[in-house]
Chain A
Amino acid sequence: MDERNRLTFLAANYDNLRNLRFAPVYVLLIADPWIERLDWYHISDRTFFARVGVALGTYVVWLSRMNAYYKRRYGHAESRPGQPTKSSWKDAAIVYIFFLPVSVSICLCVVLFTQHPPGMFAILPFLLLLATTKGLLPSNVEMRRSYYLAADALALLIALALMIRRMPGHSFLYTYDETFFGIIMLVIAILDHVLLIRTFRQAPRDAYA
Protein backbone atom coordinates (compact mmCIF):
# COMPACT_ATOMS: atom_id res chain seq x y z
CA MET A 1 0.00 0.00 0.00
CA ASP A 2 1.52 3.36 -1.01
CA GLU A 3 1.54 6.31 1.39
CA ARG A 4 -1.36 8.16 -0.24
CA ASN A 5 -3.58 5.04 -0.12
CA ARG A 6 -2.55 4.32 3.49
CA LEU A 7 -3.50 7.84 4.63
CA THR A 8 -6.82 7.78 2.76
CA PHE A 9 -7.67 4.26 3.95
CA LEU A 10 -7.03 5.11 7.61
CA ALA A 11 -8.97 8.37 7.53
CA ALA A 12 -11.94 6.91 5.63
CA ASN A 13 -12.18 3.59 7.53
CA TYR A 14 -11.11 4.56 11.06
CA ASP A 15 -14.63 4.14 12.39
CA ASN A 16 -15.13 0.69 10.79
CA LEU A 17 -11.73 -0.59 11.92
CA ARG A 18 -12.62 0.05 15.59
CA ASN A 19 -14.86 -3.03 15.37
CA LEU A 20 -13.54 -4.41 18.67
CA ARG A 21 -15.84 -1.92 20.47
CA PHE A 22 -18.73 -4.29 19.74
CA ALA A 23 -17.00 -7.38 21.19
CA PRO A 24 -19.59 -7.83 24.02
CA VAL A 25 -22.34 -8.25 21.40
CA TYR A 26 -20.32 -10.98 19.69
CA VAL A 27 -19.56 -12.66 23.05
CA LEU A 28 -23.29 -12.59 23.83
CA LEU A 29 -23.96 -14.25 20.46
CA ILE A 30 -21.35 -16.93 21.27
CA ALA A 31 -22.89 -17.55 24.69
CA ASP A 32 -26.50 -17.52 23.42
CA PRO A 33 -27.07 -21.35 23.41
CA TRP A 34 -26.01 -21.50 27.08
CA ILE A 35 -28.08 -18.41 27.98
CA GLU A 36 -31.14 -20.07 26.43
CA ARG A 37 -30.64 -23.08 28.74
CA LEU A 38 -31.03 -20.88 31.81
CA ASP A 39 -34.35 -21.28 33.56
CA TRP A 40 -35.87 -17.93 32.48
CA TYR A 41 -39.49 -18.91 33.30
CA HIS A 42 -38.92 -19.59 36.98
CA ILE A 43 -36.73 -16.63 37.88
CA SER A 44 -38.19 -13.55 39.52
CA ASP A 45 -38.59 -10.24 37.65
CA ARG A 46 -35.93 -8.72 39.86
CA THR A 47 -33.38 -11.40 38.90
CA PHE A 48 -34.30 -11.04 35.23
CA PHE A 49 -33.83 -7.25 35.24
CA ALA A 50 -30.64 -7.60 37.31
CA ARG A 51 -29.16 -9.95 34.65
CA VAL A 52 -30.19 -7.68 31.79
CA GLY A 53 -28.84 -4.68 33.73
CA VAL A 54 -25.48 -6.39 34.31
CA ALA A 55 -25.23 -7.29 30.59
CA LEU A 56 -26.12 -3.74 29.47
CA GLY A 57 -23.84 -2.18 32.11
CA THR A 58 -20.91 -4.36 31.01
CA TYR A 59 -21.49 -3.34 27.39
CA VAL A 60 -21.72 0.40 28.19
CA VAL A 61 -18.54 0.27 30.35
CA TRP A 62 -16.65 -1.71 27.64
CA LEU A 63 -17.79 0.72 24.91
CA SER A 64 -16.74 3.83 26.85
CA ARG A 65 -13.37 2.27 27.83
CA MET A 66 -12.65 1.24 24.23
CA ASN A 67 -13.68 4.66 22.88
CA ALA A 68 -11.39 6.33 25.44
CA TYR A 69 -8.54 3.95 24.51
CA TYR A 70 -8.82 4.66 20.77
CA LYS A 71 -9.15 8.42 21.34
CA ARG A 72 -6.13 8.57 23.64
CA ARG A 73 -3.94 6.37 21.43
CA TYR A 74 -5.00 7.28 17.89
CA GLY A 75 -7.13 10.41 18.24
CA HIS A 76 -10.50 11.10 16.67
CA ALA A 77 -11.65 11.42 13.06
CA GLU A 78 -15.18 12.07 11.92
CA SER A 79 -16.02 10.08 8.81
CA ARG A 80 -17.79 11.54 5.81
CA PRO A 81 -21.29 10.09 5.41
CA GLY A 82 -22.14 8.67 1.99
CA GLN A 83 -18.61 9.09 0.71
CA PRO A 84 -18.66 8.33 -3.02
CA THR A 85 -16.10 5.82 -4.24
CA LYS A 86 -14.56 5.66 -7.69
CA SER A 87 -15.52 2.00 -8.11
CA SER A 88 -19.15 2.30 -6.97
CA TRP A 89 -20.51 -0.03 -9.70
CA LYS A 90 -17.97 -2.68 -8.67
CA ASP A 91 -19.01 -2.19 -5.04
CA ALA A 92 -22.63 -2.79 -5.98
CA ALA A 93 -21.71 -5.82 -8.12
CA ILE A 94 -19.78 -7.57 -5.34
CA VAL A 95 -22.66 -7.11 -2.92
CA TYR A 96 -25.13 -8.60 -5.42
CA ILE A 97 -22.74 -11.48 -6.21
CA PHE A 98 -22.94 -12.40 -2.54
CA PHE A 99 -26.60 -11.69 -1.94
CA LEU A 100 -27.91 -13.48 -5.02
CA PRO A 101 -26.64 -17.04 -4.30
CA VAL A 102 -27.76 -16.78 -0.67
CA SER A 103 -31.26 -15.66 -1.63
CA VAL A 104 -31.58 -18.35 -4.35
CA SER A 105 -30.25 -21.08 -2.00
CA ILE A 106 -32.69 -20.16 0.75
CA CYS A 107 -35.64 -20.08 -1.69
CA LEU A 108 -34.59 -23.48 -3.14
CA CYS A 109 -34.30 -24.97 0.34
CA VAL A 110 -37.78 -23.74 1.24
CA VAL A 111 -39.23 -25.31 -1.95
CA LEU A 112 -37.26 -28.61 -1.85
CA PHE A 113 -37.26 -29.30 1.88
CA THR A 114 -40.68 -28.08 2.96
CA GLN A 115 -40.90 -30.78 5.64
CA HIS A 116 -37.87 -29.11 7.26
CA PRO A 117 -38.35 -25.40 6.62
CA PRO A 118 -35.35 -23.28 7.57
CA GLY A 119 -35.67 -21.59 10.93
CA MET A 120 -34.38 -18.27 12.23
CA PHE A 121 -30.82 -19.22 11.27
CA ALA A 122 -31.67 -18.45 7.63
CA ILE A 123 -31.60 -14.77 8.62
CA LEU A 124 -28.09 -15.01 10.06
CA PRO A 125 -26.21 -15.18 6.73
CA PHE A 126 -28.14 -12.09 5.61
CA LEU A 127 -27.25 -10.28 8.83
CA LEU A 128 -23.63 -11.33 8.49
CA LEU A 129 -23.56 -10.17 4.86
CA LEU A 130 -25.03 -6.83 5.86
CA ALA A 131 -22.49 -6.50 8.67
CA THR A 132 -19.58 -7.35 6.41
CA THR A 133 -20.59 -5.54 3.20
CA LYS A 134 -18.18 -2.64 3.86
CA GLY A 135 -15.32 -5.09 4.35
CA LEU A 136 -15.96 -6.71 0.96
CA LEU A 137 -15.89 -3.50 -1.06
CA PRO A 138 -13.16 -3.33 -3.74
CA SER A 139 -12.24 0.14 -2.42
CA ASN A 140 -11.00 -1.60 0.75
CA VAL A 141 -7.46 -2.92 1.21
CA GLU A 142 -6.83 -6.42 -0.14
CA MET A 143 -5.99 -7.97 3.22
CA ARG A 144 -9.24 -6.79 4.84
CA ARG A 145 -11.28 -7.91 1.84
CA SER A 146 -9.75 -11.40 1.96
CA TYR A 147 -10.59 -12.13 5.60
CA TYR A 148 -14.11 -10.75 5.22
CA LEU A 149 -14.51 -12.96 2.15
CA ALA A 150 -13.29 -16.04 4.09
CA ALA A 151 -15.69 -15.23 6.95
CA ASP A 152 -18.63 -14.88 4.57
CA ALA A 153 -17.81 -18.10 2.75
CA LEU A 154 -17.61 -19.96 6.09
CA ALA A 155 -20.89 -18.48 7.30
CA LEU A 156 -22.64 -19.44 4.06
CA LEU A 157 -21.32 -23.01 4.25
CA ILE A 158 -22.64 -23.38 7.79
CA ALA A 159 -26.00 -21.89 6.82
CA LEU A 160 -26.39 -24.15 3.78
CA ALA A 161 -25.36 -27.24 5.76
CA LEU A 162 -28.00 -26.36 8.32
CA MET A 163 -30.70 -25.84 5.72
CA ILE A 164 -30.05 -29.02 3.76
CA ARG A 165 -29.63 -31.05 6.99
CA ARG A 166 -27.80 -33.96 5.38
CA MET A 167 -24.37 -33.20 6.75
CA PRO A 168 -23.15 -35.32 9.70
CA GLY A 169 -23.34 -33.33 12.91
CA HIS A 170 -25.95 -30.87 11.57
CA SER A 171 -27.86 -31.12 14.87
CA PHE A 172 -24.73 -29.86 16.67
CA LEU A 173 -24.53 -26.96 14.18
CA TYR A 174 -28.25 -26.30 14.66
CA THR A 175 -27.73 -25.89 18.43
CA TYR A 176 -24.59 -23.78 18.17
CA ASP A 177 -25.19 -21.82 14.93
CA GLU A 178 -25.24 -18.46 16.75
CA THR A 179 -22.00 -19.43 18.53
CA PHE A 180 -20.31 -19.97 15.14
CA PHE A 181 -21.52 -16.63 13.83
CA GLY A 182 -20.42 -14.94 17.06
CA ILE A 183 -16.94 -16.48 16.75
CA ILE A 184 -16.71 -15.34 13.11
CA MET A 185 -17.66 -11.77 14.05
CA LEU A 186 -15.25 -11.73 17.01
CA VAL A 187 -12.36 -13.01 14.86
CA ILE A 188 -13.17 -10.31 12.25
CA ALA A 189 -13.18 -7.65 15.01
CA ILE A 190 -9.76 -8.82 16.27
CA LEU A 191 -8.34 -8.86 12.72
CA ASP A 192 -9.71 -5.33 12.10
CA HIS A 193 -8.01 -4.16 15.30
CA VAL A 194 -4.68 -5.76 14.27
CA LEU A 195 -4.96 -4.15 10.81
CA LEU A 196 -5.63 -0.75 12.42
CA ILE A 197 -2.53 -1.00 14.64
CA ARG A 198 -0.40 -2.30 11.76
CA THR A 199 -1.48 0.48 9.37
CA PHE A 200 -0.78 3.17 12.00
CA ARG A 201 2.66 1.64 12.65
CA GLN A 202 3.54 2.01 8.95
CA ALA A 203 3.60 5.81 9.41
CA PRO A 204 7.04 7.17 8.51
CA ARG A 205 8.94 8.66 11.46
CA ASP A 206 8.92 12.36 10.56
CA ALA A 207 9.69 11.58 6.93
CA TYR A 208 8.42 15.02 5.91
CA ALA A 209 10.84 16.94 8.17
Chain B
Amino acid sequence: MPDPSQFFPEVNRVIHEPARLAILTVLSACRSADFVFIQRTTGLTKGNLSVQISRLEEAGLVTVEKRIKKKKTLTTISLTRTTRGELARYWRTLDQIREQAIAGTMSFE
Protein backbone atom coordinates (compact mmCIF):
# COMPACT_ATOMS: atom_id res chain seq x y z
CA MET B 1 0.00 0.00 0.00
CA PRO B 2 1.48 3.41 -0.92
CA ASP B 3 2.40 5.84 1.85
CA PRO B 4 -0.21 8.70 1.85
CA SER B 5 2.43 11.19 3.07
CA GLN B 6 4.12 11.01 -0.37
CA PHE B 7 0.92 12.57 -1.87
CA PHE B 8 -0.05 14.98 0.89
CA PRO B 9 2.10 17.17 3.16
CA GLU B 10 2.38 15.98 6.76
CA VAL B 11 0.11 17.68 9.32
CA ASN B 12 0.92 18.13 13.02
CA ARG B 13 -0.89 15.15 14.58
CA VAL B 14 -1.08 16.75 18.03
CA ILE B 15 -2.99 19.74 16.61
CA HIS B 16 -5.00 17.66 14.12
CA GLU B 17 -7.06 15.89 16.84
CA PRO B 18 -10.51 17.68 16.87
CA ALA B 19 -10.73 18.27 20.66
CA ARG B 20 -7.20 19.68 20.83
CA LEU B 21 -7.82 21.80 17.73
CA ALA B 22 -10.96 23.25 19.39
CA ILE B 23 -8.96 24.11 22.54
CA LEU B 24 -6.18 25.76 20.50
CA THR B 25 -8.74 27.70 18.43
CA VAL B 26 -10.26 29.16 21.62
CA LEU B 27 -6.84 30.03 23.04
CA SER B 28 -5.65 31.61 19.78
CA ALA B 29 -8.48 34.19 19.98
CA CYS B 30 -7.62 35.34 23.52
CA ARG B 31 -4.57 35.89 25.68
CA SER B 32 -5.49 33.19 28.23
CA ALA B 33 -8.58 31.32 29.42
CA ASP B 34 -9.47 29.29 32.47
CA PHE B 35 -10.57 25.65 32.55
CA VAL B 36 -14.30 26.50 32.96
CA PHE B 37 -14.31 28.84 29.94
CA ILE B 38 -12.69 26.27 27.63
CA GLN B 39 -15.03 23.56 28.94
CA ARG B 40 -18.14 25.71 28.32
CA THR B 41 -17.08 26.88 24.86
CA THR B 42 -15.95 23.49 23.54
CA GLY B 43 -18.57 21.35 25.33
CA LEU B 44 -15.92 18.83 26.39
CA THR B 45 -16.27 16.82 29.61
CA LYS B 46 -13.92 17.67 32.50
CA GLY B 47 -12.01 14.41 32.11
CA ASN B 48 -11.56 14.70 28.35
CA LEU B 49 -10.53 18.36 28.58
CA SER B 50 -8.02 17.59 31.33
CA VAL B 51 -6.41 14.80 29.27
CA GLN B 52 -6.24 16.95 26.11
CA ILE B 53 -4.70 19.90 27.97
CA SER B 54 -2.06 17.56 29.43
CA ARG B 55 -1.25 16.30 25.92
CA LEU B 56 -0.94 19.86 24.62
CA GLU B 57 1.29 20.81 27.56
CA GLU B 58 3.53 17.77 26.95
CA ALA B 59 3.84 18.83 23.30
CA GLY B 60 4.86 22.33 24.44
CA LEU B 61 1.87 23.99 22.76
CA VAL B 62 0.27 25.45 25.90
CA THR B 63 1.36 26.59 29.34
CA VAL B 64 -0.77 25.69 32.36
CA GLU B 65 -0.76 27.83 35.48
CA LYS B 66 -2.45 26.57 38.65
CA ARG B 67 -3.31 28.81 41.59
CA ILE B 68 -5.19 28.12 44.79
CA LYS B 69 -7.87 30.69 45.62
CA LYS B 70 -10.37 30.20 48.46
CA LYS B 71 -9.48 26.48 48.64
CA LYS B 72 -10.25 26.11 44.92
CA THR B 73 -7.76 25.40 42.16
CA LEU B 74 -7.86 27.94 39.34
CA THR B 75 -6.32 26.62 36.14
CA THR B 76 -5.34 29.18 33.52
CA ILE B 77 -4.20 28.02 30.09
CA SER B 78 -2.43 30.05 27.43
CA LEU B 79 -0.58 29.38 24.19
CA THR B 80 3.20 29.30 24.17
CA ARG B 81 5.12 31.79 22.06
CA THR B 82 5.58 29.42 19.10
CA THR B 83 2.06 27.91 19.02
CA ARG B 84 0.40 30.66 16.96
CA GLY B 85 2.98 30.03 14.23
CA GLU B 86 2.39 26.27 14.51
CA LEU B 87 -1.37 26.80 14.16
CA ALA B 88 -0.95 29.10 11.14
CA ARG B 89 1.32 26.46 9.56
CA TYR B 90 -1.31 23.78 10.30
CA TRP B 91 -4.07 25.76 8.53
CA ARG B 92 -1.76 26.43 5.57
CA THR B 93 -1.02 22.71 5.29
CA LEU B 94 -4.74 21.92 5.31
CA ASP B 95 -5.28 24.51 2.55
CA GLN B 96 -2.49 22.88 0.51
CA ILE B 97 -4.07 19.44 0.97
CA ARG B 98 -7.45 20.80 -0.11
CA GLU B 99 -5.94 22.48 -3.18
CA GLN B 100 -4.10 19.27 -4.10
CA ALA B 101 -7.27 17.25 -3.60
CA ILE B 102 -9.28 19.62 -5.80
CA ALA B 103 -6.55 19.57 -8.49
CA GLY B 104 -6.48 15.75 -8.29
CA THR B 105 -10.26 15.50 -8.63
CA MET B 106 -10.22 17.85 -11.63
CA SER B 107 -7.49 15.85 -13.39
CA PHE B 108 -9.72 12.74 -13.19
CA GLU B 109 -12.65 14.57 -14.80
- A-side residues, CB < 8 A to B, are 3-4, 7-12, 14, 71, 73-81, 83, 200, 203-209
Contacts and interface: CB of A to CB of B under 8 A. Distances in A.
Interface of B: 17-19, 22, 25-45, 48, 76
Contacts of A207: 18, 43
B34 A203 contact: no
A14 B30 CA distance: 9
B48 A77 contact: no
Contacts of B29: 7-12, 80, 83
A14 B22 contact: no
11 contacts: A7-B41, A8-B25, A8-B26, A9-B29, A11-B27, A11-B29, A12-B29, A75-B40, A76-B36, A80-B29, A203-B43
A80 B31 contact: yes
Given A79-B31, A206-B45, A207-B43, A4 B18 contact: no
Contacts, number: 89
Contact of A78 (B18, B30, B39, B43): B30
A12 B26 CA distance: 8
B30 A80 contact: yes
A10 B25 contact: no
Residue of A8, A9, A73 contacting most chain B CB atoms (<10 Å) = A8
A154 B39 CA distance: 38
Nearest to A11: B29
A207 B18 CA distance: 9
Contacts of B44: 206, 208-209
Given A7-B29, A80-B31, 16 more contacts: A7-B26, A7-B41, A10-B41, A11-B25, A12-B30, A74-B36, A75-B33, A78-B31, A200-B40, A203-B41, A203-B42, A205-B43, A206-B48, A207-B18, A208-B19, A208-B42
